[in-house]
Amino acid sequence: MSSTFSCYQIAKSGVYTSQRALEVIGHNLSNADTVGYVRQQMLQADNRPQIYSGKQIGTGTSVSEIRQVRSAFLDNAYRKENSLKGYWNARQSTIEDVESILDSLSENNGLGAAIDDFFQGWEELAKDPEDRTSREAVVEYGNYFAEIVNEIAEQLDQLQSNLDEQINSLVSEINSIADQVAELNQIILVNENNGQNANDYRDQRNLLLDTLSGYMGIEVTEAENGMINVYAGGRSIVRGNNSCHMDCSYNTSNGSFATVVWENSGEEVRLKDGKLFGFIEARGDVYGGEGSVDNGSPIESAVVDDDSDSYTFSSESMNFISELRTGLNMLVSLMTRKINSIHGQGKGLDGSNGLSFFARIDENLPFEAGNIKVNPELSDPNKIAASRTGSAGDADIANEIVDFRNIDYFKNDSLKMNINDFYNLLVDWVGTAGQEAASFFDNQSTLVLLADNNRQSVSAVSMDEELANMIKYQHSYNASARVMTTIDSMMENIINSMGRAGR
């Protein structure tokens, strides 16, 4: 009899296993379009056989595991490419904003035109040093040049401030993701220790890791207990059910930009790739602040006539906005200081001398974009010093200012250049940086798509495959159920036959 009842158990195990497989298939089909869902697969194994009369008798089947069909290698490959995509996305979007601001650098109505008009105004004045209209035009062109560079500086200030806010926001979001991953680690541990299926929690955790990889470069390792450790910025950001937060620190003495540090130690986070690092470099990996040399403020200790490195521009820095400000302020500082030096050696029509043509808006800051204006005393055009001696027809000062624009005061990679060449270098540098960022972002987007397609080929739900499995397990279920009804019929015949024999 025990052998007979074991047949029930065998059939029952087949029914249960097939039913469980159909549940998994239904779960897959219902989540075929769920973002982050990884298809699940039921694995079954034969049960341990029993010994009857020295012979092994099979005892059916059982569910050994319901696993996720995913590849950790492909996940890591995707996240690596996604971190680079995040970096170039941040850089490209920032450079696009800068290019929008620097439309004023266009040939027709921007900084280039302002520089040309300014020096052409002095050329016209040199032809007739006593002409009042030409004198008024020089002042007007000077005002326009100052207005253009001050407007550019103001908009770059605003853009850097906006980037700083985005950096703060990203740090908060990264901290939130780290907390959620640590919480899911604990949930997965408890469920799997209790024999429960935690695959859906694993999907949530992996989707968070995908998002996090776009913000910063990460490395992920999984322990035997199902928990993961996440490493970023030189240390673990998630370890088991604990998370480590980052913070934005400000050097209040002389800085206005956020530095990303670890919350507990204050140690600066060593970032690599990701949108957060992209925003920091695009803004400038500097402290910032008014008069900050590392954010582009010029050094005025050098003599304007020397051949020092004060006017050497490096186009290799990845700190985009701060490097652009450096180049722009080199141009502004040299122009204002040199023209002031020349103008101060001349005399106006009213006999005035020693006047600077440009003045600082804030005397505590150097001559730079955002801090220049035409000397208010020159509202009287007779004070403009076009003459060195004050003699009628003397235009030595005006001519020296005109000649100044053609002198090679600037350097780039040991190549000397004048104001026009240097201005064109800045324009070309911005354009090249924009093209480079767009190209890298497009290439990286393609690589991310390819990496995602590779892992989707393994992990995505295939409707055809699931429907085929559904039919297979439906037949298996029906067959096991048929075994049970057959055994029922056999038992009924036995019982009825024994009843008749007893009468």
HEC sequence for 377-441:
HHHCHHHCCCECCCCCCCCHHHHHHHHHCCCCCEEECCEEECHHHHHHHHHHHHHHHHHHHHHHH
Question: Are residue 24 and residue 127 in the same domain, yes or no?
Answer: no
| Residue-level pLDDT at 166 | 96
Question: Are residue 18 and residue 104 in the same domain, yes or no?
Answer: no
| Alpha-carbon distance values, 218 to 70, 136, 179, 250, 457 (Å) | 19, 61, 15, 25, 23
Give yes or no for residue 317 having a pLDDT over 90.
no
Question: Are residue 65 and residue 110 in the same domain, yes or no?
Answer: no
| Residue-level pLDDT at 491 | 74
Instruction: Compute the C-alpha angle 100/101/103, nearest 5°.
Output: 70
Is residue 460, in this structure, part of any structural domain at all?
A: no
**Closest C-alpha to 150, from 390, 395, 332:** 332
Is residue 265, in this structure, part of any structural domain at all?
A: yes
Is the separation of the CB atoms in 396 and 325 below 8 Å? no
Question: Are residue 9 and residue 91 in the same domain, yes or no?
Answer: no
Residues 6+ apart with CB under 8 A from 241: 182, 183, 185, 186, 189, 227
Question: Are residue 7 and residue 115 in the same domain, yes or no?
Answer: no
Total domain count, the chain: 2
Question: Are residue 125 and residue 181 in the same domain, yes or no?
Answer: yes
Question: Are residue 195 and residue 275 in the same domain, yes or no?
Answer: yes
Please state the φ and ψ torsions of residue 449, each to the nearest 5 degrees.
-65, -40
Residue 490's region, left for phi above 0, alpha for psi from -120 to 50, else beta, is alpha
Please state the φ and ψ torsions of residue 307, each to the nearest 5 degrees.
-115, 40
| Residue-level pLDDT at 301 | 65
pTM above 0.75, yes or no: yes
Most confident of 2-11, 45-54, 316-325: 316-325
Q: How many CB atoms lie within 10 A of CB 456?
A: 13
Residues 6+ apart with CB under 8 A from 275: 86, 87, 89, 90, 170, 214, 215, 216
Is the separation of the CB atoms in 238 and 244 below 8 Å? yes
Is residue 440, in this structure, part of any structural domain at all?
A: yes
Question: Are residue 364 and residue 494 in the same domain, yes or no?
Answer: no
| Alpha-carbon distance values, 113 to 88, 121, 378, 438 (Å) | 32, 12, 22, 28
- Segment 253-307, tens digit of pLDDT: 667 888 999 998 888 999 989 999 999 999 998 888 777 888 888 877 665 665 5
Is residue 43, in this structure, part of any structural domain at all?
A: yes
Question: Are residue 49 and residue 86 in the same domain, yes or no?
Answer: no
Give yes or no for residue 1 having a pLDDT over 50.
no
Q: How many Å apart are CA 233 and CA 242, to the nearest integer?
A: 17
Buried b / exposed e across 370-399, counting CB within 10 Å, b at 16+? bbbebbeebeebebbbbbbebeeebbbbbb
Give yes or no for residue 499 having a pLDDT over 70.
no
Strand-pairing partners, residue 229, are: 221, 239
3-state helix, strand, coil in the chain (%, to 5): 60, 10, 30
Q: How many Å apart are CA 26 and CA 403, to the nearest integer?
A: 82
Question: Are residue 100 and residue 231 in the same domain, yes or no?
Answer: yes
End-to-end CA distance of the chain: 22
Give yes or no for residue 2 having a pLDDT over 80.
no
Is residue 293, in this structure, part of any structural domain at all?
A: yes
Give yes or no for residue 118 having a pLDDT over 70.
yes
Question: Are residue 431 and residue 482 in the same domain, yes or no?
Answer: no
Q: How many Å apart are CA 278 and CA 255, to the nearest integer?
A: 20
3-state secondary structure (DSSP) of residue 67: strand
**Residue range(s) defining the domain that contains residue 330:** 77-449
Give yes or no for residue 128 having a pLDDT over 60.
yes
Is residue 466, in this structure, part of any structural domain at all?
A: no
| Residue-level pLDDT at 411 | 84
If pLDDT is split at 50, 70 and 90, which confidence band does 105 have? low
Residue showing tokens 């009804």: 485
- Segment 218-258, tens digit of pLDDT: 999 999 889 999 999 879 999 999 999 999 988 766 678 88
If pLDDT is split at 50, 70 and 90, which confidence band does 502 have? low
Question: Are residue 185 and residue 45 in the same domain, yes or no?
Answer: no
Is residue 155, in this structure, part of any structural domain at all?
A: yes
Is residue 422, in this structure, part of any structural domain at all?
A: yes
Buried b / exposed e across 409-427, counting CB within 10 Å, b at 16+? bbbbeeeebebeebbebbb
